[in-house]
Amino acid sequence: MIEALFKYHFLQNAVLAGILASIVCGIIGVIIIEKKLVMMSGGIAHTSYGGVGLGYLLGFEPIIGAFIFSICAALGIGFIKRKGKANSDVIIGLFWSLGMALGILFIALMPGYPPDLSSYLFGSILSVTKADLNLTASLTVIVIFVIFILFNDWKAYLFDEEFAYIKGVKTAFLEYLLLILIAMTVVVLIRVVGIILVLALLTAPAATAAVLTSNLKKRMIYAILLGNVFCFGGLWISYEINAASGAVIVILSVICCLIAYAVRSLYDKRKKKTV
């Protein structure tokens, strides 16, 4: 694969996409695990399918439609959750199913043969284009900038939201901002692993990093590094065995995460026995 990497542009694009996706996953994944927003992230991801269908129906770039739907879902779920007028799990489930249903409906309304949506559902990192890379790079820079500038506020928000509010941190603003960042991350990951597999890559590197350290900054760095290992390893394996790259990346990520949990569990048990 190393020789092919220097020869084929599609492999170079795939590697760059993997690097950018790993950076975003490492940063946002740690935060959503700490705030227990994993299922909300899944709801936002699946709602984006409605935007993909709308893009095909109206003739504009489907990834832009996914971005718009993701942002609307994030703000909608966040608003209803914060007002406390309904159970957040119910709202997430409703947005989740509504987005998927709208995507199916929009595709059904298209004249002629329906398009192949497998790359949006299951990812296709090998078909990433320059336009996809430009969008991904732009969103990645925004995510890094927002987290870096407000890093101390994020630490306070994650440690104790009520205490942070008392100290003058605008927690409501941070919550909505986080949901928007999650929506942007989902869009970054759609071309890599697809809508259905987004949750695994968003959480596996961050969860594995949490086993290694409790320090927030180190967890983000470790998660970024692990994300790169999972993406490159999955990409190499899929290239060698001619399998779906997104699925292989996710399988490798989950297996490594489970192994890390198992090793940590054994280590803790031995530590208790020695004490």
CATH classification of the domain holding 191: 1.10.3470.10
Count of structural domains within the chain: 1
For residue 235, the surrounding DSSP H or E stretch is helix 216-241
What pTM value is reported for the model? Answer: 0.84
Q: In which domain, by residue range, is 24 found?
A: 2-274
Q: What whole-number distance in Å separates Cα of residue 160 and Cα of residue 207?
A: 20
Q: What is the pLDDT of residues 102-159, one digit of tens each?
A: 999 999 888 877 777 777 877 777 778 788 788 888 888 998 899 889 888 888 888 8
Q: What is the pLDDT of residues 158-212, one digit of tens each?
A: 887 888 888 888 888 888 888 898 888 888 888 777 787 788 888 999 999 999 8
Give the residue among 200, 219, 205, 178 at the shortest CA–CA distance from 37. 178
- Residue 193: what pLDDT? 77
Q: Which residue reads 């929506």 in tokens?
A: 183
Give percent of the chain with pLDDT exceeding 70: 95
| Mean model confidence pLDDT for the chain | 84
Q: What whole-number distance in Å separates Cα of residue 70 and Cα of residue 184?
A: 8
Mean pLDDT confidence for 223-233: 91
Answer yes or no: are the C-beta atoms of 71 and 139 closer than 8 Å.
Answer: no
Residue 246 burial (CB < 10 Å; 0-12/13-18/19+)? buried
Answer yes or no: are the C-beta atoms of 133 and 187 closer than 8 Å.
Answer: no
